[in-house]
Structure 1
Amino acid sequence: MSYPIALNEEARLAALYELELLDTPDEPVFDRVTRLVTQLLKVPMAKVSLIDAEREWLKSQVGVEAREMPRGVAFCAYTVMALEPLIIEDARQDPRFADNPMVTVPEGVRFYAGIPLCTSDGLVMGALCAMDTQPRVLSESELGALHDLAAIVTDEIRLRERLAQERKKAQAYQQALNKLHRSMENQIERRTNELNLVIESAYDAYISIDGQDMILDWNRAAELMFGWPRKAALARPITQLIFPDGLPIGNDSAAITFIARRCDGAELPVEIRVKTLMIDGRERRSLFIHDITERQQLERLHNQQAREDVLTRLPNRRAFDERLPEAMARTRRGKHPLAVLFMDLDGFKTINDTHGHAMGDEILRAIANRLASAVRETDYVARWAGDEFVLLLEGSDVGAIEYLANKFVQVVEEPVMVGNDAPLKVSASIGVALYFAASEETTNELLKRADVAMYNAKHIGKAQVHIARSADSDS
């Protein structure tokens, strides 16, 4: 099928490729938004769509099986043509989409709402979309909610845009610095004045030392970074000023991450590149030092966000997936059993439907806090998804596992007070799978047993615990 092409298509695609979002793994920041779209608008389908040259690729989707499709059948191919939302109340009545295979199939798309996702330059990368199999009219409040969620995705896209620009700047800076290194090898004697001018105006600290680690040169950036004036630094050992634990050992090809010290005693994480030269038979080393404080803070923040559930502040599914193999390995070494508890809240959907998602979020936070307080320091609790939690109990007596699981059921059943409203109450169904040192189960098999046990507990009735059969059981 044909589709419109934007006048700025070349620039739009160039910006899309610079973001490096196409064909990347799922990310919580996008998945949370698509889930919220389905919940707030009560639609079965939502997606974060990116429009490539000849295809639509989905960074996140709920209720949509295909990860990509031809651009010619994509509703979002029209959304990227403008900065305004595209609302289609009944696709069968719209001549652009009436014959679209996504519409003509049974249970096909009838309603579509797409909000363009733009870069800071106004180039449309794709859309945040809500879809339904029934015609519908979007209320002003629903459209406002969709706009707000699209703004979250847009902010993330623009953050990626800024990071891409910073990467380009860093690459350009590194290329310039490497060029400077090569120039120093061949022209250090002939171009001393020019080199000194470049070094003095460099963003990174430049320190030159001799074979005995005595400081020969110290640029303005070094003064600002470490607090020592140039005159106070010259002819002193570098270990006395900024490397009290000794000068890091490096080579001419790799950057070294190290801890330096300022004149006020404060520690400073730095990245060091060392270049060794022989001048008139004497060794001389040039140190180019970059302050990486901000970079490390950003890396720690991203690492935390990637492994923490935003709503409950518990470890998320990704963090749990990393923890479980480690716990299984400890069980094999220490011969102590491991219990995996898969918990699903009973009655939570009713609270969401009756009192709203904000109240449901408060319930989830309260339950998460209780579970975190109820486990031992050696145990682990994570939010799996929605109203599901997973617990790891290491080294517990096998005979006490069912008692402990029922204790968690009691913890969950305690009424939750939210503001001045009447207390609300949910219960929990828990499935338990035990893992022993001799077991040959994989992590997926162990989790599957716990998940099946949880569903068996639900079939028994609310607030129940079901212990899964042993993995080695033949019955």
Structure 2
Amino acid sequence: MPTLPDAASPAPDSPAAGLERLSALHSLGILDTPPEPQFDRIMALVSRYFRVPFGSVTFVDDHRQWFKASVGFTHRADPRGQSICALTVDAGCPLVIPDLRADPRTAPLDAVQGGHQLRFYAGIPLRADGHAVGTLCVLDTCPRDFSAEDLEVLAQFAELAQSELRLRLALRDLEALALTDPLTELPNRRAFQRELASACGAARSGQTRVVGLLDLDRFKPINDTLGHAVGDAVLRFVAQRLLALLRPGEILARYGGDEFTLLLTGPDADARAREIALELPHRLHMPSGLRVGVSLGLVSVSGPADPKALLELADQTMYRAKAAGTIAAHSRFPDDLNPARP
């Protein structure tokens, strides 16, 4: 029989460690997500191999246990105080309880005394960033022995679930890379188009949206005469200064080359666009003495709009500002759609 953790409840995490554990759990982005076949298949295999009527892939936060996949259970969450898996998470190591009614930690629990009449438990921690955040566990309605070999097999099944978690994080990181401009670390064209499409999809609410397209003036001579390293530094500088002008929820992206895009939403979007246009000239004084100007086309819309048409109008409006030698020009969609381009 494997050595069990002491029957006394484990010492609680320090507040800092508890917050780190919760942060690691939330970083998985798995809580309250729909069932996924890969986790369901693992649990079906585990249940069949050990011939148990209950089992789960469980994650434990500060107030509940939540089942990502389960066998035998028809609900998806329990209060943390009713969770056997919370004991495994708190201990941070495999836990086997041959008879739940004989263990003072679990004897009073509803799942033991009430509905499911559970009597046996074995669980292996699942980890994120080194913290135990959940378990893969099996449960039975009668006491049973669980050998060291059984525990090793359960650990191998848990490793399958752990591999799925690692894959989940890797795919999320790849998606983040696919949506981020590596030079400025701003959202890229693809990310901006996704946000703009989402904002246009909210048109039925009548919410005002302002789309901006900003182009750097005199940038090509900097690249040609001083080199791409200096040009890259200019782009990073402009990105940081533009970002400092924005409030939470306002979006700045590098659209490509020396072009940046803005998306402002809300009842004060038009006023915010004017504020940003007025402030821009005062924010782009470079310490090196290099001079780079900007031309900004701003388009306001409050009704249904096609994202592509909005960007085309923003592009035309930006060129209008450039031709006039002004920092910014404003248009309203669809009133100013398809004006003659200077």
Letter in 2 for 1:393: L
Does structure 1 conserve the Cα–Cα contact (< 8 Å) formed by 2:214 and 2:260? Answer: yes
Partner residue of 1:86? none
Q: Which residue among 216, 221, 237 is the counterpart of 1:350?
A: 221
Does structure 2 conserve the Cα–Cα contact (< 8 Å) formed by 1:340 and 1:390? Answer: yes
Residues 1:325 and 2:188 are matched in the alignment: no
* SS state at 1:373 partner: helix
Partner residue of 2:286? 416
Report the CA distance between 1:266 and its aligned residue.
4.4
2-structure distance, mates of 1:430, 1:245? 63
Report the CA distance between 1:433 and its aligned residue.
1.0
TM-score (norm 1): 0.41
Q: Which has the higher contact order (CA 8 A, sep 6+)?
A: 2
Alpha-carbon distance change, 314 to 227 in structure 1, aligned in 2, over 3 angstroms: same
2-structure distance, mates of 1:324, 1:235? 57
Report the CA distance between 1:305 and its aligned residue.
1.0
Letter in 1 for 2:289: P
Partner residue of 1:364? 235
- Please give the per-residue CA displacement for 1:270-290, whole angstroms capped at 9, x wherever unaligned: 6x698999xxxxxxxx97432
Partner residue of 1:234? 98
Identity %: 30
Partner residue of 1:377? 248
* SS state at 1:291 partner: helix
Alpha-carbon distance change, 425 to 181 in structure 1, aligned in 2, over 3 angstroms: same
Does structure 2 conserve the Cα–Cα contact (< 8 Å) formed by 1:370 and 1:411? Answer: no
Does structure 2 conserve the Cα–Cα contact (< 8 Å) formed by 1:402 and 1:467? Answer: no
Partner residue of 2:318? 454
Does structure 2 conserve the Cα–Cα contact (< 8 Å) formed by 1:268 and 1:291? Answer: no
1-structure distance, mates of 2:99, 2:222? 73
2-structure distance, mates of 1:246, 1:300? 36
Report the CA distance between 1:235 and its aligned residue.
2.5
Letter in 1 for 2:198: E
Residues 1:268 and 2:133 are matched in the alignment: yes
The aligned length equals 234
Residues 1:431 and 2:302 are matched in the alignment: no
Letter in 2 for 1:416: M
Alpha-carbon distance change, 210 to 428 in structure 1, aligned in 2, over 3 angstroms: closer
1-structure distance, mates of 2:111, 2:234? 54
Does structure 1 conserve the Cα–Cα contact (< 8 Å) formed by 2:181 and 2:188? Answer: yes
The equivalences for 1:187-336 within 5 A come to: 226-228=92-94, 230=96, 233-236=97-100, 266-268=131-133, 288-289=157-158, 290-292=161-163, 293-330=165-202, 332-333=204-205, 335-336=206-207
Does structure 2 conserve the Cα–Cα contact (< 8 Å) formed by 1:314 and 1:381? Answer: yes
* SS state at 1:391 partner: strand
Letter in 1 for 2:291: K
Alpha-carbon distance change, 410 to 177 in structure 1, aligned in 2, over 3 angstroms: closer
* SS state at 2:312 partner: helix
Partner residue of 2:333? 470
Letter in 2 for 1:459: A
Alpha-carbon distance change, 348 to 177 in structure 1, aligned in 2, over 3 angstroms: same
Alpha-carbon distance change, 300 to 177 in structure 1, aligned in 2, over 3 angstroms: closer
Alpha-carbon distance change, 296 to 236 in structure 1, aligned in 2, over 3 angstroms: farther
* SS state at 2:333 partner: coil
Report the CA distance between 1:393 and its aligned residue.
1.7
2-structure distance, mates of 1:245, 1:309? 52
1-structure distance, mates of 2:179, 2:282? 25
TM-score (norm 2): 0.55
2-structure distance, mates of 1:398, 1:300? 31
Alpha-carbon distance change, 273 to 319 in structure 1, aligned in 2, over 3 angstroms: farther
Letter in 2 for 1:343: L
Does structure 1 conserve the Cα–Cα contact (< 8 Å) formed by 2:301 and 2:332? Answer: no
2-structure distance, mates of 1:329, 1:312? 28
- Please give the per-residue CA displacement for 1:52-89, whole angstroms capped at 9, x wherever unaligned: xxxxxxxxxxxxxxxxxxxxxxxxxxxxxxxxxxxxxx
Please give the root-mean-square deviation of Cα atoms over the aligned residues, in Å. Answer: 4.5
* SS state at 1:327 partner: helix
Structure 1, unaligned runs of 5 or more: 1-172, 189-208, 212-221, 248-258, 278-285
Please identify the structure whose Cα radius of gyration is greater: 1
Report the CA distance between 1:427 and its aligned residue.
0.7
Structure 2, unaligned runs of 5 or more: 1-37, 52-70, 74-87, 113-123, 142-152
- Please give the per-residue CA displacement for 1:360-416, whole angstroms capped at 9, x wherever unaligned: 11111111111111011131111111111001122254763663242253145x322
Letter in 2 for 1:359: V
Letter in 1 for 2:231: G
2-structure distance, mates of 1:313, 1:274? 44
Partner residue of 2:35? none
The equivalences for 1:103-182 within 5 A come to: none
Letter in 2 for 1:464: I
Partner residue of 2:56? none
Partner residue of 2:210? 339
